[in-house]
Chains A and B, each alone.
Chain A
Amino acid sequence: MSEPGAQKANSATAAVGNETDGPALGTLLRWLLGITRPVHKPLFFSAACRILNLTLDLALFGTAAGGVVAIITGAGHTATIISALIALSLIKAGMFYLEQFSGHYVAFKALELLRVHVFSSMWPKAPAIVSHSRSGDVLTSLTRDVDRIEVVYAHTFAPVVSAYVVGIGAVLAAGLTIGWAITGVAAGCLAFSLLIVPYVGVGPSMKSTRQMLARRRDLAHHVTDSVYGLDEVLGYGLEEQRLSETDAQGKLVGDSSQPPRDWAGFRRGANVAASLIASFSIVWFGRNTLSPIAIAALAAMALRVFEGPRGIEDATGYLDHSLAAARRLWHISHIPARVSDGPDTFAPDHAPAITFTNVSYAYPSRDGSPNKNALTNVSINIPAGGHAILVGRSGSGKSTLVQLLQRYDDPGSGSITVGGQSTNCYTLNSLRRNIVSVSQKNQLLETSLAENLRLGAPDATDEELWAALRLAGLADEIEAMPDRLATHAGRNGSALSGGQAQRLCLARTLLMKPSVLVLDEFTANLDIAREEQIRKALAAWEHKPTIIEVTHRLRATADADLIVVMDRGQVIATGAPAEITEETIESLFQNPTAAVGELATHK
């Protein structure tokens, strides 16, 4: 099994390549800062508190060491020095509190800002943004990525800024007052810790981290396969093979997580050494010229000032992960919208006619290479108020066709008109407000049934909700629930049965009184009796939309005007229900080329 390994390495590099292709660091930061502008003031405040905290900390240790030596040598009063220590401790504690509190404020606020920003930049690009290209990855990493960036705001900015401000301030103050002969080496050590240590190995670490993340993704896929593919694993006796592959991939993850770890270790070691050498150098160079009091105070401060670089160390630990996360978010937020608003508002006063003329379409591919056509030269005329059934096996393009009608994307060639005008003349909202679909997928929010129903019609009255529920054949069951419309739908509609969830989605659609109703396998979870009841109710509904039904099995065709058989992205037959039945379709598939000419009489 070395081949899949090679395959995975390729896919890993592809993923890495994708992330490195992102914006330059400057662009990325400007983008992030633009989003988080409202937290900048509290962020500066937090940094200022930390600067004071660190400064007071230096003063505290300097006073303690120098003061003790002063008292011993008879140059200081115990009471004065102890009260100074107490005062410094208390003020420092206060500063620490303010720093922490404002830090939390920044963290929570930044989290909110990022979440809302990402959501607001994503929803207008739906459905295209989720229906293709690594959707699963995007959505699962999204929240974690946002959390990682929050960490930058909460735990990176203030420590880094304060380390430089306090460090440089301390060096200048000591050098200018005491003289560089004594403080020069210590200053050099601090400069080393502030200017060199944080940046050594950052490039290789980040490269390695990106590789590690890609390898973790591959590992996660492998584990997912082992769990979901348990039957195959057991059936073909692949247990040991899977386990050793998992181990091998885990080893790769370990290999690429080690360099950043070693660089972090280098930083720790370097700062430990620098702090001790700085403290030592003060004593060594000052021992003949400087008073013991000053030496003690300076040596203690020299040791303690390296708290700053230590804070940078921690921050660097998060930084490569955080930047990778920021890059991914940037990508998600900058995926171009595939469709845009047209100038007109679509407000038909009656059910419109729909035409597809020579529509061809290929889904965008991940790497930009040409994809196979999902639709080729599809032409269909659906009369105003008509009921058309698109039938075909899965993958025949029937769902793609109705998605193009709702402008998930625009066709590569050909045109789609509704009510005589091209769909891209209309604003997306007005178009989708009037062309509404119910699919077999369960699409309920984790909130009450009423709120789910009102998603598309926020101003609907309870009376209207019940009317829609009656149409969808769900009113009785909801009446019987203790909380009725206030019943919580649960995650992914888990509080309802599959059939109930499906009828709730139908009711939600009917509530919008669309002029075009798209029913995409809407009976998947319903028994035949229930399906008939709903069909009857729909036929008797006073609102008469144009209906497009998508199905893979012809069951109830009595209400239909037109049946369109699709296969591999093409219309292979159109006809009235009398002309096309399950049997004719079966014979079509047995001998497709012969059948097209014979049956495609109805134009």
Chain B
Amino acid sequence: MCVRRHPRRLPHKSGDVFPPARSSLAKFYFCRIVRDGKEDEYAHNSTGRTAYVSTRSAKRQPKARVISNQGQRATRLVGALRLGSAAAMVGAIAAIGRTLDSGTDAAATTALLFTALAAILAFSEFGVGGRAARAEERRIRRALLTRQFAAGADGTSLRNEFPPGRVIPMFNDGAERITNYKQIYWGSTLAAMMIPLMVLLYIGIAIDPVVGFTTLVLVPIIPLAIGGFMKLFRKTSANSRKQRGALASRYLDAIRNLVTIRLLGAGDRIEAELRTAGERNRGAIMRLLAGNQVVIIVMDGIFSLVLICAVALLVVARHEVMTTGDALSIMLLTVLLLEPLQQVAGFFYIGMGGIAAQREIRSFLAATDQKPPKADAIKQAPAPIPLVASRPDESVAISMDNVSFGYDRNTVLSNVNLRVTRGERVALVGPSGVGKSTLMALLRGTLPPQDGQIFIAGHDADKEHMAETRAASAAVGQTTWLFTGTIADNLRLAQPTATDEQLWDALRQAQVADEIAGMPRGLDTYLGEGAGLISGGQAQRISLAQALLSGRTVLLLDEPTSHVDIESESAIINAIAALPRDRTIVLITHRPSLLKLADTVYTLSDGQLKKEELSRV
């Protein structure tokens, strides 16, 4: 388990996986190696130097920390404001008691001043909590996305355990929920639990020790009772949640298949089924609740009886040592003893959602923690590399020397050697699963090389410089994801400063300019929500235009026509054929029409590249 951490904090804390602020991106990783039940912690920097840090028992794996230090400070501040507001209320209530005894203006003024203070602190608690939650939400989202990018750059495949469908809600809703819980709800709840304690301490010290401290003994009942309440309710609600969950997923399923249901004429039937299932389910839940909610009577009864009746009895018993005003103050202060109850409802709306989000985020952090995040994963976009290769032999665009690669025990590539000269067009064929995509990923810089040496456009593609490797070539994959925005926005992802004329130029080269010119808004055509206006073939050609626009001289094409229609395929082939010869092309394909474009064809099998003899007509 490796973690990057700020070197200043090096000897003190462990388990802090939160990336530090951007300015302090340290080049240190922490690596914990679990051996014989002991966990050794090593720090190493990006040059590979390693230092032993500490040893400790591995039994208690610290949970990945989700909330940043700022976030935790905010939680404490919110709690302090809530507690402060309650303290000011205590002050005001005590002054109300004195007003009854003395009726002086001084007491009245004190009461009103404390009132104002209580109001201001209560107001601040909300504002501070809201601001802190959104700020922390941004930090968490940045941290999670950074992990996602780093994992992608590492070639770590998250897709099985954390497919997009799982991480996207986590990055959006999850980050919102956990911060609503931690920065808005949690500090306030902790404070609310402490309010009775504070009130009774005040009574004990300022009014009467017997009343104050005797009731204080009863105070643990409050957290216990609330805990018990939640626990009891949780069992019931876990049960009923399961049933509700089943019903909800049935409903969702029906919504998802609305078209099928409608076309097959099953609408009435499914509607009736949903209705009866819902009714049945609701009946079961209500029977469950009827029994379990008796606990509410007990809880509410305990609060009223124990606290109010006990306080009343104690005050009566001690009335000789206090004034009427004191007695009134104490009775008014009992209202504050009920503050913790205010938090119960929030638990179900904010607490449970927040806890679930926290669990989800933690498991994501743990899963992406297997490898040290690459330092370059979150670096600024590297400077565009010069078009002219800086290697001694300028005629070589790509060279692979004795490159081997394997996953676990499976060797995929063994001692592969490849030399592609500038402007050469190389096709790579072979059955699926043979490692073509692995080879391509090594060239693209999305897999760290394990053994051997790779040069791309004069750049040494070692694992310390993967961002630079990625900047050495441009790729077109089997499918293209178009970003929300206009066609121009999408193209400028590859070259932010390109002029409209340059965009059109690239689109013309990619053989898609006419179609885009034919759209009512041309370059400003907005591509939202799945880009319904653009066909898959057009998207592929826009991706090709992107690649051309990037000015990178090496183009890596991974079956670019496997998901497109006939016309788009021929357009793509024409586009590739017409490319200026200073572009070097490596192409994976099965299509004979694409193979025709290649100067050289290699077959990959058994981890080896074999040059095919081309028989040209």
Segment from B219-227, B268-276, B405-413 that makes contact with A: B268-276
In the complex the two chains form, is B537's CB within 8 Å of A393's CB? Answer: yes
Interface positions of A from 218 to 242, Cβ below 8 Å from B: 218-242
Q: How far is the CB of A110 from chain B (nearest CB, A)?
A: 10
CB distance from B480 to the nearest CB of A (A): 8
Contacts known (A69-B327, A120-B271, A240-B381); A280 close to B115, Cβ less than 8 A:
yes
Residue from B123, B282, B327, B342 within 8 A of A109 (CB atoms): B282
Chain A interface bracket (under 10, 10 to 19, 20 to 34, 35 or more): 35 or more
Which residue of B99, B275, B300, B536 is within 8 Å of A283 (Cβ)?
B99
A446 x B250 contact (CB < 8 A): yes
How many Å lie between the Cα of A92 and that of B152 in the bound state? Answer: 59
CB atoms of B262 and A234 under 8 A apart: no
Which residues on the A side are within 8 Å of B265 (C-beta)?
429, 432-433, 456
Residues on the A chain within 8 Å of B131, using CB: 254, 258, 261
Collect the chain B residues with CB atoms within 8 Å of residue A299's CB: 96, 328, 332
Q: Are A269 and B119 in contact (CB under 8 A)?
A: yes
**Chain B residues, Cβ within 8 Å of A178:** none
CA distance A436 to B259 in the complex (A): 12
Provide the bound-state CA to CA distance between A105 and B289, in Å: 9
**A589 to B567, Cβ gap below 8 A?**
yes
- What residues of A have a CB within 8 angstroms of the CB of B123 in the complex? 262, 265-266, 268-269
Docked complex: B108-127 residues within 8 A CB-CB of A: 108, 111-112, 114-116, 118-120, 122-127
- Residues of chain B from 454 to 478 with CB closer than 8 A to chain A in the complex: 467, 470-471, 474-475, 477
* CB <8 Å contact, B251 and A119: yes
- Whole-angstrom distance between the Cβ of B194 and the nearest chain A Cβ: 18
Residue among B111, B149, B275, B535 facing the most chain A CB atoms (10 A cut-off) = B149
- Across the two chains, which residue of chain B brings its CB closest to A276? B115
Whether A393 lies near B567 (C-beta < 8 A) is: yes
Q: Is A273 an interface residue (CB 8 A)?
A: yes
Chain A window 163-188, contacts with chain B (Cβ cutoff 8 Å), 1 for yes, 0 for no: 00000000000000000000000000
Q: Are A295 and B328 in contact (CB under 8 A)?
A: yes
A537 at the interface (CB under 8 A from B): no
- With a cutoff of 8 Å between Cβ atoms, the chain B residues found around residue A303 in the complex are 93, 332, 335
A68→B304 contact, CB < 8 A: no
* Contact between chains at A143 and B289 (CB < 8 Å): no
- Please name all residues of chain A whose beta carbon is closer than 8 Å to the beta carbon of B146 when the two chains form the complex: 239, 243
Once bound together, how far apart are the Cα atoms of A85 and B484, in whole Å? 64
Q: Do residues B119 and A270 form an inter-chain contact, with CB atoms below 8 A? A: yes
B135 at the interface (CB under 8 A from A): yes
Contact (Cβ within 8 A) A273 B296: no
Stretch at the interface among A130-138, A346-354, A495-503: A130-138
Q: Does A257 contact B250, Cβ atoms closer than 8 Å?
A: no
- In the complex, the answer to whether A264 meets B126 with C-beta atoms within 8 Å is yes
Q: Are B567 and A443 touching (Cβ within 8 A)? A: no
CA distance A104 to B237 in the complex (A): 12
Contacts of B256 in A (CB 8 A): 139, 492
Chain A positions within 8 Å of B149 at CB level:
226, 230, 233-234, 239, 242-243
- Report A525 CB to chain B, min CB distance, Å: 14
- A486-518, CB < 8 A from B: 491-492, 508, 512
Selected from B334, B382, B565, the residue in CB contact (under 8 A) with A64 is B334
Partner of B258, one of A68, A123, A393, A512: A123
Q: Are B111 and A276 in contact (CB under 8 A)?
A: yes
- CB-nearest residue of chain B to A146: B251
Q: Is A124 an interface residue (CB 8 A)?
A: yes
Which B residues, 61 to 92, have Cβ-Cβ distances below 8 Å to chain A?
A: 85, 89, 92
Q: Which of A19-27, A93-101, A573-581 contacts B (4 or more CB under 8 A)?
A: A93-101
CA separation between A71 and B446, bound complex, in Å?
Answer: 82
Q: Mark B291-321, 1 if CB is under 8 A from A, else 0.
A: 0011011101100110011011101100100
Query: Which residues from chain B contact A238 at a C-beta distance below 8 Å?
Result: 381, 493
A254 to B127, CA, bound (A): 11
Which chain B residues lie closer than 8 Å to A104 at the CB level? Answer: 285-286, 289, 293
In the complex, which of the residues A67, A94, A119, A265 contacts B125, with contact meaning CB atoms closer than 8 Å?
A265
Q: Is B263 part of the contact surface with A, judged by Cβ < 8 Å?
A: yes
Q: How far is the CA of A227 from the CA of B319 in the complex (A)?
A: 69
B480: chain A residues at CB < 8 Å are 232
Please tell me if B279 contacts chain A, counting CB pairs below 8 Å. yes
Q: Which of B141, B164, B271, B279 contacts A123 (CB 8 A)?
A: B271
Please tell me if the beta carbons of A136 and B530 are within 8 angstroms of each other in the complex.
yes
A254: chain B residues at CB < 8 Å are 131, 134-135, 137-138
| Complex contact B258–A94 (CB within 8 A) | no
Smallest CB separation, A365 vs chain B (Å): 10
| Docked complex Cα distance between A94 and B51 (Å) | 66
Q: B23: which A residues are within 8 A, CB to CB? A: none
Q: Which of A85, A94, A393 contacts B309 (CB 8 A)?
A: A85
**Of B165-173, B362-370, B422-430, B596-604, which binds chain A?**
B165-173
Measured CB to CB, the closest approach of chain A to B140, in angstroms, equals 10
Report whether A93 and B99 are in contact in the complex, using a CB–CB cutoff of 8 Å: no
Cα of A393 to Cα of B568 in the assembled complex, Å: 8
Q: Does B577 contact A (CB under 8 A)?
A: no
Task: Given A238-B493, A299-B96, answer yes or no on A68-B331 (Cβ-Cβ < 8 Å).
Answer: yes
A94 to B298: give the CA distance in the assembly, Å: 9
| Partner-binding segment picked from A1-9, A322-330, A469-477 | A1-9
* Interface status of A292 (Cβ within 8 A of chain B): yes
> By the criterion CB–CB under 8 Å, are B262 and A124 in contact?
yes
A279 touches B496 (CB 8 A): no
Q: Are A394 and B263 in contact (CB under 8 A)?
A: no
* Interface contact A225-B481, CB-CB below 8 Å: yes
Q: What residue of chain B has the Cβ atom nearest to residue A432's Cβ?
A: B263
Whether a CB of chain A sits under 8 angstroms from the CB of B232 is no
- Indicate if B264 sits at the interface (CB-CB under 8 A): yes
Question: A155 to chain B: which residues have CB within 8 Å?
Answer: 345
Residue of B nearest to A370 (CB): B520
Nearest B residue to A457, CB-CB: B264
Instruction: Flag if B332 contacts A65 (CB, 8 Å).
Output: yes
CB-based contact B251/A295 at 8 Å: no
Is A129 an interface position by the 8 A CB rule? yes
Cα A233 to Cα B493 with chains together (Å): 8
| A-side contacts of B125, CB under 8 Å | 265, 268
Answer yes or no: A251 CB below 8 A from chain B CBs: yes
- Contact of B270 with A92 in the complex, beta carbons under 8 Å: no
Q: Is the CB of B115 within 8 A of A223?
A: no
Chain A to chain B contacts (Cβ below 8 Å), 6 pairs: A60-B304, A254-B137, A296-B331, A314-B345, A458-B269, A492-B256
* Residues in A lying within 8 Å of B, measured CB to CB: 1, 3-4, 7-8, 11, 60-61, 64-65, 67-69, 71-73, 78, 81-82, 85-86, 88-90, 92-94, 96-97, 100-101, 104-105, 108-109, 112, 115-116, 119-120, 122-124, 126-127, 129-131, 134, 136-137, 139, 142-143, 151, 155, 216, 218-243, 246-247, 250-251, 253-254, 257-258, 261-262, 264-266, 268-270, 272-273, 276-277, 279-280, 283-284, 287-288, 292, 295-296, 299-300, 303-304, 310, 314, 372, 393-395, 406, 429, 432-433, 436-437, 443-447, 455-456, 458, 491-492, 508, 512, 552-553, 567, 585-586, 589-590
**Which 10 A-B pairs give the minimum distances between C-beta atoms?**
A265-B126, A393-B565, A254-B134, A261-B130, A237-B381, A456-B264, A89-B304, A269-B123, A126-B262, A65-B331
B residues within 8 Å of A by Cβ?
A: 85, 89, 92-93, 95-96, 99-100, 103, 108, 111-112, 114-116, 118-120, 122-127, 129-131, 134-135, 137-138, 141-142, 145-146, 148-149, 152-153, 164, 167-168, 171-172, 176, 248-267, 269-271, 274-275, 278-279, 282, 285-286, 289-290, 293-294, 296-298, 300-301, 304-305, 308-309, 311-313, 315-316, 319, 324, 327-328, 331-332, 334-335, 342, 345, 349, 377-382, 444-446, 467, 470-471, 474-475, 477, 480-486, 488-489, 492-494, 496, 520, 526, 528-530, 535-537, 543, 546, 550, 564-568, 570
Contacts A93-B304, A142-B255 aside, 17 further interface pairs with beta carbons under 8 A come to A93-B301, A94-B297, A123-B270, A136-B529, A222-B484, A224-B484, A229-B481, A235-B474, A236-B493, A239-B146, A240-B378, A240-B380, A250-B137, A254-B134, A292-B328, A446-B250, A455-B266
